[in-house]
Structure 1
Amino acid sequence: MKIPFRLMLCLLGTSVFAQSRSAFVTPYERSQGKETATYAEIIDFYQRLDKQFDQAKLVVIGKTDIGKPLHILLLSADKQFTARPDRVTLLINNGIHPGEPEGIDACMMMARDLLVSNRLPKKMLLAIIPVLNVDGSLNRGESRVNQNGPATYGFRGNARNLNLNRDFIKADAENTRSFQAIFQQLKPHIFIDNHTSNGADYQHVVTYFATQKDKLHPTISGYMAQTFQPELDKLLTEKGFPPAPYVNHPRDTPESGLLGYNDSPRYSTGYAALFNCFGFTLETHMWKDYPARVKGSYAFDEAVLRLCERDAPTILANKQRADAAVSGQTTFKLNYQLDRTQTDSITFLGYEAGYKPSEVSGMKRLYYDRSRPFTKRIPYQNTFVAALQLNKPTAYVIPQGWQEVITLLKRNGVRMQALSRDTVMAVSAYYLDDYKTSPRPYEGHYIHSGVTVHAEAQRIQFYTGDYVIPANQPANRYLIETLEPQAMDSFFVWNFFDSVLDQKEYFSNYIFEDTAADLLKKDPALRQQLASKRASDKAFSENGDAQLEFIYKRTPYFEKTFNRYPVYRLEVGQ
């Protein structure tokens, strides 16, 4: 039988694809879905893609805490590997928690398939971080008792036992610093962070949460929530992976309702949102078999890629508008909290839950009955409101001595100007009135919360090399979230300025007694303040040391820098 010419070409193309694909079989595929690739296998695989295809480029982007390089794979149909304003950049991150490796294996296969089939999107840059937590990837074992495969995998903590998905503001890890640098270089429009869930049992393989919509600029938020996500959910359902929101539930079982996730700036998607990049944290279900989870990750990442390709002009225009608007924005909302008065509903595919005696303790224990699946509408609360609203200053001023903070600001694309001469400036200075400090360390820090401040107008001497940071730039949200001490992930909250909380000079009571008495004689207002305090506070009136302290704090001898926050605001008209 004579084969038609077009069919012959089709068969020939299919054969070439199969041969090319077989040359790049992943360790996951060789193991028939039982294994995830090791760090060495991951990098070797991407190096071979780089060597074989002109549309692929594997680049070392920085260091990690374990001393190994951090890589990124760049894929571009036109072989141009730099970010440009006329094309969408999609950044996919893998292995931030290497014990959750589905994205690692899925992206290896997806990158190969896009290259060998010549299906890379036009006018797009696809950037894939093969594994962010190289340290944890090398620490291979079986640390996730609730997870159904693969056989062995990496560990959640990095070489310093840091959870990198809590590190995006403080950037303690070299891994995170390298990520920040490449993020600012690429300026992605959309970001994916691939994970595995933990918790309740249900039918869904794919769950995810998007950047909290109420924090984003309305131009981006409206498109993400009203267009992109519905289309994404439709594509996933068509591929056999009907999604659900990340299963974050307030009571024992999901049917009680789900809560939206508050991804503050310490998290990857919260960090991305500070730069008008909307993101998705994919959470495949830990108790589904590993091949199902890898296929779900592949389906999710590919669906996002295709929507980026389809809607590229809209995505580009939205980010340009948002960047311009944020540069001129005057009021910023901070410290978002769930609004429990606003409730929606979603369709959820779950399993009936029940309770039975524990074989370990004899106490009542929860279980899910997979023989009793259900489909039902359940409550979903995903509206967040700001607890704090601040007006931005004209600029911030930070003395050069705070080099750790200055380095972070520069790495994150903040534009600033060093003073060329010593200058006395009229500024608004915050004083830290109250805060609470955690009794135990969290990710290497005793973080602060409940911060309250008051502001005082002062004239302060600044010096050549100190920095003025104008608040008319696209990085404004990052500036406000990090430099305003009351923000929930500010640099103050993460202990970068704790040395200002130490008082350096004191007084000797027996000497200051005479000085205090003389001050009271000369200052009727101070005398009246002391009398009022005594009248209203019995314990104070019976404590001589406290009364001396009260007077001392109201004299020129008391240090003005105690509890003074060392980032100053230049206000309009100053």
Structure 2
Amino acid sequence: MCLSSFASAQKTPFEQSKKTQTATYPEAIAYYKLLAKQYPQVKLFSYGNTDFGQPLELLVLSKDQIFDPLTIKKRKKTVLLINNGIHPGEPEGIDASMMLSRDLLKGNKLPKDVVICIIPLYNIDGSFNRTSTSRANQNGPVSYGFRGNAKNLDLNRDFIKTDSKNSAAFQLIFNTWKPEIFVDTHTSNGADYQYVMTLIPTQKDKLNTILSGYLTHTLVPGLYEAMAKQGYPMIPYVNSIAETPESGITGFIESPRYSTGYAALHNVIGFMPETHMLKAYDLRVDATYKLLQSYIDIIQRDAKLILENKQRADEFVARQTEFPLTWQLNKNEVNKITFKGFEAGQKPSVVSGLNRLYYDRSKPYTKTIQEWNKFEPAISVQKPLAYIIPKAWDKMIVLLKLNNVKMQELKSDTKIEVESYYIEDVKTGSKPYEGHYLHTGVKVNPKKQKLQYYAGDVIIYVNQENNRYIVETLEPQATDSFFNWNFFDSILDMKEHYSAYVFEDTAEGILKSNPLLRAQLEEKKSLDTAFSKNAAAQLDFVYKNSDYYEKTHNRYPVARLMTTVKLNLK
């Protein structure tokens, strides 16, 4: 290839379109393949599969030309993982990463202590569903992909339930390369204001305290300072409590269904940069480029400290005994922040004739607004010694293994005394959410039982650096537990019942032989008028307190081992 044609080929589709168009998936991969041919410091890997039938690609930039994850860890290199195009209609990171990779390679500017891993385009499926209209509120590019993937899943809600092959491939990448810092590029929706770039870090209060200290006192201030110097002052993501930002904003509590919430389960600091949808596309790409470069600069500067913090956090979590499962906003603790916005007003709608909101860009302002960003645990749990999972629940076991959870199997059949949860109450959504009728408000009743287990059933000791992933997926009350994502809904159905006219005679015999149950029935009738007038409810009460009632109904199958016992394990 001659020099002129090579120089032309190194221009991205975004640059060739005069900064109005974003690269397609084939263009992005072809571009990275060209870089990999030209520079020994870059390599393109393929992982797993996606719902679109294409593997998930990973570009790795390594100054030392080391591309083995184990060797990279042994040499104490920090890993930065950048994910682009999880929502292909928010494509700034796709174009910014292509230019940044080229510029780092051309100028021999790769950091010596940081290995940069880039997923060029995560939602390959959605990127092929290309239009100019699906992002109705967005100012460019000319055309772009769609939020849903080939199964119409929002992949940024799929990091626990893993309904997509994309998610499984991502988790394989994440747990192979084990990043210390993770960045997932996005574009905002919402209010109008002066900023091109807003930022969502991992919520500080739910992140391990060792990591959150560095995040809040060093990393985030460093990013804000670097971006301000480059002409892109930032603000926290504008999550308004009312219609306009002057009302105040709240922090975003990202549960593990989201990419950065998933990363936090592995003690990885995560970010969702959100460019402003109404700013020109070239500015949004430029701001993303400069932010990604700022991450690299700071991570290189603090590489040793970041590695030390991650190691300390992993060691802490392996010993940790109490784990929060759900979080709530502290509405009494408030910060004051400076905010640059536009005056909002009301005017008649051409559509309805009624008043509508608008922002007047001819009236910029700088005001002090309130920010609520203190979250506290709502439900917490003491970890067990171990969890026991019957081998039948294989989807969950596969996901645990994918996340490097260490587990063992029983060699032989045995009875084990455990603590089992019975699901006392659960609320289920009336409409599907991402293909599921999501559970919330779970209440459990723990009971000690001696249960039969079989060879091949799985034991997971909760003494690992991945304890947060283990606890927050296996404890049913956790926001994004496997239970809440419907992995265990079959336990909520009764498989056997009775014919009332036959069981009436059986119930009579049960009450004669069990005076205590008879007393409990009479007490409930005296305290509950509706129950005392409901013959079917009374018969059901006897049934559910008899040996005829199935012991597995509403019993959560993942048991908690609370005491040390000698087990015959593989």
Q: Would you call these one fold, judging by a TM-score over 0.5?
A: yes
The structure-2 alpha-carbon separation of the partners of 1:261 and 1:44, relative to structure 1 and needing over 3 Å to count, comes to same
Higher alpha-carbon deviation: 416-425 or 504-513: 504-513
Match of 1:208 in 2: 199
| 1:61 and 2:51 correspond | no
Given residue 198 of structure 1, which amino acid in structure 2 is its aligned partner?
Answer: N
2:187 aligned residue (191, 196, 204): 196
The within-5 A match list for 1:553-564 is 553-564=544-555
Provide the rounded CA distance (Å) in 2 between the counterparts of 1:17 and 1:214. 52
Match of 1:8 in 2: none
The structure-2 alpha-carbon separation of the partners of 1:384 and 1:491, relative to structure 1 and needing over 3 Å to count, comes to same
Provide the rounded CA distance (Å) in 2 between the counterparts of 1:537 and 1:206. 59
How far did residue 216 of structure 1 move? 1.0
Given residue 89 of structure 1, which amino acid in structure 2 is its aligned partner?
Answer: V
The within-5 A match list for 1:265-304 is 265-304=256-295
Provide the rounded CA distance (Å) in 2 between the counterparts of 1:17 and 1:122. 28
**Contact 1:417 / 1:467 at 8 angstroms: preserved in 2?**
yes
Match of 2:568 in 1: none
How far did residue 517 of structure 1 move? 1.0
| 1:126 and 2:116 correspond | yes
**Contact 1:64 / 1:174 at 8 angstroms: preserved in 2?**
yes
Match of 1:478 in 2: 469
Match of 1:13 in 2: none
How far did residue 427 of structure 1 move? 0.4
Match of 1:91 in 2: 81
The within-5 A match list for 1:517-528 is 517-528=508-519
How far did residue 136 of structure 1 move? 0.4
Provide the rounded CA distance (Å) in 1 between the counterparts of 2:564 and 2:57. 47
SS at match of 1:506: coil
Aligned residues: 559
1:156 aligned residue (134, 144, 147): 147
Match of 1:377 in 2: 368
Provide the rounded CA distance (Å) in 2 between the counterparts of 1:478 and 1:365. 45
How far did residue 116 of structure 1 move? 0.7
Q: Render the CA deviation track for 1:521-559: whole Å, top value 9, x for unaligned.
A: 111111100100111112211222211110111111111
| 1:45 and 2:31 correspond | yes
Provide the rounded CA distance (Å) in 2 between the counterparts of 1:544 and 1:200. 57
Provide the rounded CA distance (Å) in 1 between the counterparts of 2:290 and 2:161. 33
Match of 1:396 in 2: 387
| 1:234 and 2:225 correspond | yes
Match of 1:24 in 2: 10
Gaps of 5+ in 2: 566-570
**Contact 1:20 / 1:116 at 8 angstroms: preserved in 2?**
no
Provide the rounded CA distance (Å) in 2 between the counterparts of 1:492 and 1:268. 19
Provide the rounded CA distance (Å) in 2 between the counterparts of 1:416 and 1:573. 16
How far did residue 21 of structure 1 move? 5.2
Given residue 263 of structure 1, which amino acid in structure 2 is its aligned partner?
Answer: E
| 1:488 and 2:474 correspond | no
Provide the rounded CA distance (Å) in 2 between the counterparts of 1:517 and 1:62. 60
SS at match of 2:185: strand
Gaps of 5+ in 1: 1-15
Question: C-alpha root-mean-square deviation of aligned residues, in Å?
Answer: 1.3
Provide the rounded CA distance (Å) in 1 between the counterparts of 2:541 and 2:244. 54
How far did residue 572 of structure 1 move? 2.8
How far did residue 82 of structure 1 move? 2.7
Provide the rounded CA distance (Å) in 1 between the counterparts of 2:20 and 2:513. 84
**Contact 1:205 / 1:243 at 8 angstroms: preserved in 2?**
yes
How far did residue 396 of structure 1 move? 0.1
Match of 1:113 in 2: 103
SS at match of 1:566: coil
Provide the rounded CA distance (Å) in 1 between the counterparts of 2:8 and 2:217. 40
Provide the rounded CA distance (Å) in 2 between the counterparts of 1:381 and 1:435. 29
1:74 aligned residue (50, 57, 60): 60
Given residue 335 of structure 1, which amino acid in structure 2 is its aligned partner?
Answer: T
Q: Render the CA deviation track for 1:339-377: whole Å, top value 9, x for unaligned.
A: 111100211111111111111111011111111111122
Q: Render the CA deviation track for 1:221-261: whole Å, top value 9, x for unaligned.
A: 00001111001100000010000001110111112111100
Provide the rounded CA distance (Å) in 1 between the counterparts of 2:510 and 2:90. 66
Provide the rounded CA distance (Å) in 2 between the counterparts of 1:82 and 1:431. 46
Given residue 40 of structure 1, which amino acid in structure 2 is its aligned partner?
Answer: P
**Contact 1:21 / 1:113 at 8 angstroms: preserved in 2?**
no
SS at match of 1:282: strand
How far did residue 24 of structure 1 move? 0.5
Given residue 108 of structure 1, which amino acid in structure 2 is its aligned partner?
Answer: M
1:428 aligned residue (419, 428, 432): 419
1:352 aligned residue (326, 343, 354): 343
| 1:331 and 2:322 correspond | yes
Provide the rounded CA distance (Å) in 1 between the counterparts of 2:413 and 2:397. 19
How far did residue 23 of structure 1 move? 3.9
Provide the rounded CA distance (Å) in 2 between the counterparts of 1:354 and 1:536. 57
Provide the rounded CA distance (Å) in 2 between the counterparts of 1:295 and 1:338. 34
Provide the rounded CA distance (Å) in 2 between the counterparts of 1:215 and 1:273. 8
| 1:104 and 2:104 correspond | no
Identity in percent:
55
SS at match of 1:495: coil
How far did residue 22 of structure 1 move? 4.3
